[in-house]
Structure 1
Amino acid sequence: MSKNNLSMAVTAVLSVVCLVGCGAGAGNADGAASSSGQGGPVPTAPVGSSAEGKAIADSARVENLVADCMKAHGFNYVPSPQQPANGEASPVHRNPALVPYGQLKELRQKYGFGYFSAFIFPNDPNVARRDMGPASPNEAIKKDLDPAQRKVYEVTLNGTPVPGQGKSTTGGCYQDSYTKVHGSVPAGNPAEEQAKSATAEQVVEAFRSDKQAIQAAQGYASCLKNGGYTVTSTAPGDVENTVQLAASGLFQTARANGANIDAAAAKQGLADEIKMALDDLECGKAYEVIAKPFVENLMKTGQG
C-alpha cells in the first residue's frame, strides 16, 4: 500500500467528525493547546491514572522545560501543555466504534454528527466549534518581536530543519525538552514515522482483509442502500464514511454563502442530520463491534 493510500485508509478507519476546523494538538511547541495564558510552570500531576492523564502530565513536563530553555536564551515562553480533551474528544467527535451504542444513540438524537448542532448549541462542549478556540499565547509573543528576532525565536524554539528530511529538525528547545521527557525525538522524525506507518499499514490491511469485517461491511452497505443512501464502497474502513460524508456535504452546502448559517436553516439542517446519523447508527451497529479492536490497535500505533 502506498503512503498516500495508507493515509487515506487510516483516515477512513479512524474517521472523526471535524467541524469547521480542527484545533491544534500538542505535536509541536507552537501547536500545543493553549493554556490559560498565564506564565510560570504548569501543574504536572496526571489526571487520574488514564493514558490521557499521563500524556497531559508528560506534556506539562515538556512545556516547563521548554520555558526554562527559552528563558536561558533570553526569550519569554508560556508553557502550553496538552489539555484534557473536553469537547474535542467528546463522544460526538470520536470514532463510533469506540463509543457504546446506547451513549452514541442518545448523543446522535440531539447532535447528529455534530455539524449543524455547533450552531444550535454554540456553548455546548460536546459540539464546540474547534476553530473558535484560543490561540497560543506564544503567537502573541512572537508578533511583538521584530522580523530578525522572530526568526531567532523560532529557530531557538523549534531548531533548524534538516535538508531533505521533511519535518525533522535538529536542536531547538522543544526537541531537546521532549527528548529529556520521552527519551526520543518528537514525532516527525523520519525513521520513527516510517516505523509507525509500517505498523499502521499492517493493522489497516488486517482490517480490510478480515472476513468478519468484510461480511459486516457488506451488511452495513446493504442496509444503507435500502435506506436510500448511495454507497460508493463496501470495504471496511470506507463504508462507515458514507452517511457522514453526505451529512458533511449537506452542511457545506448550507454554508456556501458564508461562515454562518441562519437559525431556520440550522434547525432544519440539524433535523435532517439527526435522521441521517440515526440511520447510520442502526445500519452500522454490528459492524462497529467488529471494527472496535482494529480501531484500538490503530490508535496504539500513534497514527490515529
Structure 2
Amino acid sequence: MPNRSLLFLAVLCLVGTAACASATQARPTPETTSGRPSDQPQRIQSIIADCMKQKGFKYVAWVPDPKIDDEWKKAASGDYAAMRKERREQGFGVFFLLAHPDRKQVLWSETDSPNFAIENELSPAQQTAYDKALTSCKAQAVKQVTGKVVKSDEDRAEQENQMIEQTLDRELNGDPRLVELASAMGDCLKGKGYRVDSVKPVDMSHRGWKEFEEQKKRIALNDDIPEKDLPDGKYIEPRLAPATARQYLAKEVRAALDDLECGKDFYAAYMPKQNEISRRVVQLFGGVELA
C-alpha cells in the first residue's frame, strides 16, 4: 500500500544510524500505564540516551518534527478535491519521482539528527559498537514504554506493518458500508475497462497503485541493474530516463483520475477509518504521528 495514503506513519528508525544488531538488554517492566501516547517518542528517546550513556556512548534524545501541509493531509483523509489535485500531478505515486527526480521530498533525514554527526566522527570499529549498543538500547526503550518486544528497526517495522494489515482486514473488509461502496467502485472501474480482481475494501484502496507498482517492478527486473542480495520481493529502482518515465506517468495519471472518479464516495468513507487504524498502531509502537 502506498505510504502517501496513510496520514499517520511510525518512525521506524528512532535515530538515523547504520544497520542494527540484535537487542540483548534485559526486559524491564513496561510503563504502558502512564503517559500519553503523544509523549511516548520523547520518553523512548530519553531512555535510549540514558542507556547509551551507561554503555559509554554519547547520544542526544531527538524526535523528528515532520511538517505536513494541509493539502497533503486533506488528500490523505479522502478529500475529493485534494485527492484530484494530487492525482492529476502524481497519479498513484509510482512513476512520479522517476519522471521528476528533482521533486523528491523527505519529511526528515538521518542527517537531521544530532546523533548522525556524533557517530560519523567515530572509527569504523567504534561505529559498529555504537550501532550494536543503540539497537540494544532501542529495544529496551520500546519494551519499557510500550511493552512491545522488538529486535531491530527492521523487526519493529515488520511487526507494525503486519499489525496494520491485519487490523485493516479485520475491521474494514467487514464494514458493511465500505463493502457496498467498494463493490460500486469496482463495477464502475470494470465499466471503464479496468481489471478488478477483488472488491474487498482494502484491496480496492490500493488496486491502482498495485497495478502500476507491479509494472515498475517488471521494468526493474528486466533492466541492466542486477538485483543481488535483496530480500524477497525487493528490487532496485529501474533506470529510466525522466522523459521515458513521464510517458508511464501520463498513463498512471489517467488511471488514477478514473480510479478517483469511481471511488469518490468510497475514499471519503474509507480513508478516515484507515488513518485511525494506522494512528492506533503507531501509538502502540511508540511512533511519531504526522500532523
TM-score by length of 1: 0.61
> 5+ unaligned residues in a row in structure 2: which ranges?
19-35, 226-237, 284-291
Q: What aligned pairs does 1:51-70 form with structure 2 within 5 A after superposition?
A: 55=38, 58-60=40-42, 62-70=44-52
Counterpart CA distance in 2 for 1:64 and 1:86 is 25
Counterpart CA distance in 1 for 2:169 and 2:242 is 41
Q: What aligned pairs does 1:40-51 form with structure 2 within 5 A after superposition?
A: none
In structure 2, the CA distance between the partners of 1:143 and 1:233, relative to structure 1 (3 Å rule), is: farther
Aligned-partner residue type, residue 98 of structure 1? S
**Which position in structure 1 is the counterpart of 2:30?**
none
Counterpart CA distance in 1 for 2:143 and 2:268 is 38
Query: What is the CA distance between 1:266 and its match in structure 2?
Result: 1.6
The match for 1:213 among 170, 178, 188 is 178
Query: What is the CA distance between 1:267 and its match in structure 2?
Result: 1.8
Secondary structure in 2 matching 1:238: helix
**Which position in structure 2 is the counterpart of 1:116?**
95
In structure 2, the CA distance between the partners of 1:61 and 1:240, relative to structure 1 (3 Å rule), is: closer
The answer to whether the aligner puts 1:268 opposite 2:253 as a matched pair is no
Counterpart CA distance in 2 for 1:197 and 1:122 is 30
Counterpart CA distance in 1 for 2:15 and 2:265 is 41
> 5+ unaligned residues in a row in structure 1: which ranges?
1-14, 19-23, 34-50, 160-172
Query: What is the CA distance between 1:276 and its match in structure 2?
Result: 1.0
Q: Is the 8 A contact 1:26 1:32 kept in 2?
A: no
Counterpart CA distance in 1 for 2:215 and 2:253 is 12
Query: What is the CA distance between 1:265 and its match in structure 2?
Result: 0.5
In structure 2, the CA distance between the partners of 1:17 and 1:228, relative to structure 1 (3 Å rule), is: farther
**Which position in structure 1 is the counterpart of 2:269?**
290
Secondary structure in 2 matching 1:209: coil
Query: What is the CA distance between 1:295 and its match in structure 2?
Result: 1.3
**Which position in structure 2 is the counterpart of 1:165?**
none
Bigger drift between 265-274 and 209-218 goes to: 209-218
Aligned-partner residue type, residue 26 of structure 1? V
The answer to whether the aligner puts 1:158 opposite 2:120 as a matched pair is no
Query: What is the CA distance between 1:216 and its match in structure 2?
Result: 1.2
Secondary structure in 2 matching 1:237: helix
The answer to whether the aligner puts 1:188 opposite 2:139 as a matched pair is no
Aligned-partner residue type, residue 84 of structure 2? K
The match for 1:245 among 200, 205, 210 is 210
**Which position in structure 2 is the counterpart of 1:227?**
192
Q: Is the 8 A contact 1:26 1:81 kept in 2?
A: no
Counterpart CA distance in 2 for 1:283 and 1:268 is 23
Counterpart CA distance in 1 for 2:62 and 2:242 is 36
Counterpart CA distance in 1 for 2:165 and 2:197 is 24
Counterpart CA distance in 2 for 1:17 and 1:27 is 13
Counterpart CA distance in 1 for 2:200 and 2:257 is 21
Query: What is the CA distance between 1:236 and its match in structure 2?
Result: 1.7
Counterpart CA distance in 2 for 1:116 and 1:80 is 33
Aligned-CA RMSD value: 4.3
Counterpart CA distance in 1 for 2:42 and 2:240 is 38
Counterpart CA distance in 1 for 2:2 and 2:169 is 16
In structure 2, the CA distance between the partners of 1:77 and 1:144, relative to structure 1 (3 Å rule), is: farther
**Which position in structure 2 is the counterpart of 1:236?**
201
Q: Is the 8 A contact 2:100 2:242 kept in 1?
A: no
In structure 2, the CA distance between the partners of 1:277 and 1:218, relative to structure 1 (3 Å rule), is: same
Q: 1:246-280 CA deviation, whole Å, 9 max, x = no partner? A: 22233334444253311320221121111011011
Q: 1:138-196 CA deviation, whole Å, 9 max, x = no partner? A: 795497242xx66654453333xxxxxxxxxxxxx33454567x4x4456399xx99x9
The answer to whether the aligner puts 1:204 opposite 2:166 as a matched pair is no
The answer to whether the aligner puts 1:174 opposite 2:138 as a matched pair is yes
